[in-house]
DNA sequence: TTCAAAACACTAACCGTTAGTGTTAGCTTC
DNA sequence: GAAGCTAACACTAACGGTTAGTGTTTTGAA
């Protein structure tokens, strides 16, 4: 039917199942023995796939841990680009960050984040993800015609928002922290608007 | 004289010389052939040292590139802890960030930063350094008895300041960018003070 | 002079990651 | 159905950063 064949049947399901099995196995082994104590070859063997197969589904060992967070980048940019017309950007971002933080702090996520905090490699990877988030969000803000701030102001805003998310994760009351940091960001935003460049 | 012998003679000088020779050789090779195209074994051979010697001076391949920036962490914390008594923290930090940015944008530093921006590994490493900076600066701010902000506010401030430095590096006019971002940070700082926790 | 420690060398390996080369399984078209 | 194309997967072997283990030399101190 379609010129470019889009497989939507068993093949796709099997692929997704393999991916899920790898991710589940990896997370289980990491939690059981520690991230550094488990090698890629261990994960592949336990999931009963080849090492190359594992790397065809995940770009790196760290990516196995951050499977859930991979779409945060899109969600942040969409909060800006797809907000209701006329709505200011910051409240939309605040809502989205609230949602992201709830997602990170809910359910049994705490042990995973503990593992991340315990591993320098995972902390570094998370920082690299923040860089991607900030870059994407910057692009979205720069592309918005309704924002009259200078480029530097918008870049700063993007970073501050990304920081808000990671700051809230570490706070005792994450939801309150989001609001506290966003209060500061809103003030910074207004101050940045005072000198349009 | 001292119970713990502190060598201050030829040995220290030789060690420093070896370290410097490794760093210089590495930077030269990286700039000539590209960071990814030069291996650790190449650097060690060209510097005429063993690979293990290289790693006894530098913790990783990336650390060879960021040799100069290793003390930014201390400089930021000192800007807070050793500021003249009674002086507010933010102006002191602004001055220090100005100095750091001047240091990064002066002389022939541009090609090095180009190389860093071109390498994902180096960008990630720089982000990991930002994490260290932010953590240290947070600790310094939390330890300051003169600051009545909430812990979350202080954490946010630390991140914003660290962001200011990396933002300024990328701006067309870095010095002006420092001032622009700090204007926003000062506003955020005042807004954060309104709700002492 | 003697001794302990630090710096350095060398080998061999570990681990994440990738290239190269098949092989199988599923979709699609006839 | 049968044929053929492609995607998913397997396997081996390697590359590059990093470290452990084991000496050897240099240097400063006693």
Query: Which residue in B has a C-alpha nearest to residue A182's C-alpha?
Result: B188
What is the model's pLDDT at position B196? 47
Q: What is the mean pLDDT, run by run of 10 residues, along chain B of 197 residues?
A: 51 86 94 95 94 94 93 95 94 97 89 94 96 97 92 98 97 96 97 67
Q: Is B152 on the interface with A (CB under 8 A)?
A: yes
What is the model's pLDDT at position B5? 43
> Is pLDDT above 70 for A4?
no
Angstrom distance (rounded) from CA A107 to CA A69: 15
All residues of chain A having their beta carbon less than 8 Å from the beta carbon of residue B185 are 188
Q: Alpha helices, DSSP H only, in A49-173?
A: 51-57, 61-65, 72-81, 89-105, 110-118, 120-143, 151-170
Q: Is A182 on the interface with B (CB under 8 A)?
A: no
What is the model's pLDDT at position B8? 63
What is the model's pLDDT at position B195? 52
DSSP state of B146: T
What A165-168 contacts at long range (C-beta under 8 Å, 24+ apart), as own/partner pairs, is: A165/A72, A165/A97, A165/A100, A165/A101, A165/A133, A166/A126, A166/A130, A167/B152, A167/B155, A167/B156, A167/B159, A168/A97, A168/A101
What mean pLDDT value characterizes chain A? 92
What B132-137 contacts at long range (C-beta under 8 Å, 24+ apart), as own/partner pairs, is: B132/B73, B133/B72, B133/B73, B133/B76, B133/B162, B133/B165, B134/B158, B134/B159, B134/B162, B136/B73, B136/B74, B136/B76, B136/B77, B137/B76, B137/B77, B137/B80, B137/B161, B137/B162
What is the model's pLDDT at position A76? 97
Report how many helices (DSSP H) and strands (DSSP E) chain B contains, helices first. 10, 0
Query: Which residue in B has a C-alpha nearest to residue A158's C-alpha?
Result: B163
Which positions of strand D lie within 7 Å of protein CB atoms? 7-13, 16-21, 26-30
> Is pLDDT above 80 for A103?
yes
> Is pLDDT above 50 for A2?
no
Angstrom distance (rounded) from CA A131 to CA A115: 21
Angstrom distance (rounded) from CA A186 to CA B184: 10
Domains and their CATH numbers in chain A? 10-59 (1.10.10.60), 69-194 (1.10.357)
Angstrom distance (rounded) from CA B184 to CA B33: 41
What is the model's pLDDT at position B70? 85
Q: Is A189 on the interface with B (CB under 8 A)?
A: yes
Q: Mapping DSSP to helix (H, G, I), strand (E, B) and coil, where does residue B135 land?
A: helix
């Amino acid at each position: 039917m379609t010129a470019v064949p889009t497989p939507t049947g068993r093949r796709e399901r099997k692929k997704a199942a393999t991916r899920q099995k790898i991710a589940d196995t990896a997370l289980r082994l990491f939690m059981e023995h520690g991230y550094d104590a488990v090698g890629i070859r261990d994960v592949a063997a336990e999931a009963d796939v080849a090492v190359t197969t594992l790397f065809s589904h995940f770009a790196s060992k760290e990516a196995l841990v951050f499977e859930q967070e991979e779409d945060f980048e899109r969600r942040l940019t969409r909060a800006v680009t797809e907000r209701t017309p006329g709505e200011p950007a910051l409240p939309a971002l605040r809502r989205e960050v609230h949602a992201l933080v709830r997602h990170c702090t809910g359910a049994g996520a705490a042990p995973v984040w503990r593992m991340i905090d315990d591993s320098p490699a995972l902390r570094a990877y998370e920082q690299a993800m923040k860089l991607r988030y900030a870059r994407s969000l910057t692009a979205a803000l720069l592309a918005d015609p309704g924002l009259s701030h200078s480029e530097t102001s918008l870049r700063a805003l993007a970073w501050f928002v990304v920081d808000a998310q990671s700051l809230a994760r570490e706070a005792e009351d994450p939801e309150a922290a989001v609001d506290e940091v966003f209060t500061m960001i809103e003030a910074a935003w207004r101050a940045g608007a005072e000198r349009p460049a």
